Amino acid sequence: MFGLNAMAIEYLDLHLRQQLRIGLPARAITEVLQLKPGQICPVPEINPLLLGVTNWRGKLLWSLNLSDLLLLRADPVPPSQGDALTAIVLTDSAAQRTVACIVSKLLGIVEVPEDQVRSLPPQFPAKIRHRFRGVIRLDSPMLLLDPERVFQIE
């Protein structure tokens, strides 16, 4: 399927709002959680990108909506208040940081050949361009998120 010299990296294939397809390196993912909205406790006077904290393995875990971080418009029909949220626990082991990233849908694991990763198109929004390492075309384009850039909240 891939060239003999092509190194492939496993990515978690997921959707955000508006069916935007994102790939997160599997090596950066610690766990996938199902959270009820009531399990996330808002914290006053923090960056509005952070939804709050949740109890994860006896520790406080910050939560953010990945769609908000990437400046995606709100869905025309918001999810109902009782719906479970899918959260990807993302870890930056070098800096010992962990965050729960709320996503819309998990699609599975895909192998991405490094030699097929392309630069983002020039018209890609400059405000979020730095958060991605490139794009790959599978059956549809998948934007490859740089997990270290998720922790850089302005």
Rg (CA), the chain: 16
pLDDT band at 146 (very low <50, low <70, confident <90, very high): very high
CATH number of this structure's domain 8-150: 2.40.50.180
Task: Enumerate the H helices of the chain as residue ranges.
Answer: 66-69, 126-129, 147-150
Residue 74: per-residue pLDDT? 75
Six token digits for residue 131:
């958060």
User: Do residues 27 and 10 touch, judged by C-beta distance below 8 A?
Assistant: yes
pLDDT at 4: 54
pLDDT digits (tens, 9 = 90+) for 87-128: 999 998 777 899 999 999 999 999 999 999 999 999 999 999
Output the pLDDT for position 18: 78
Task: In whole angstroms, give the CA distance from residue 107 to residue 115.
Answer: 23
The reported pLDDT for the residue numbered 101 is: 96
pTM of the predicted model, to two decimals? 0.86
**pLDDT digits 0-9 by tens, 33-58:** 999 989 999 999 999 889 999 999 99
Residue 5: the pLDDT is 55
Task: Report which of 18, 26, 44, 6 is spatially closest to residue 145, judged by C-alpha positions.
Answer: 26
Could you tell me if 40 and 92 are in contact, meaning their C-beta atoms sit under 8 angstroms apart? no
Total number of residues shown for the chain: 154
Alpha helices in 1-108 (DSSP H): 66-69
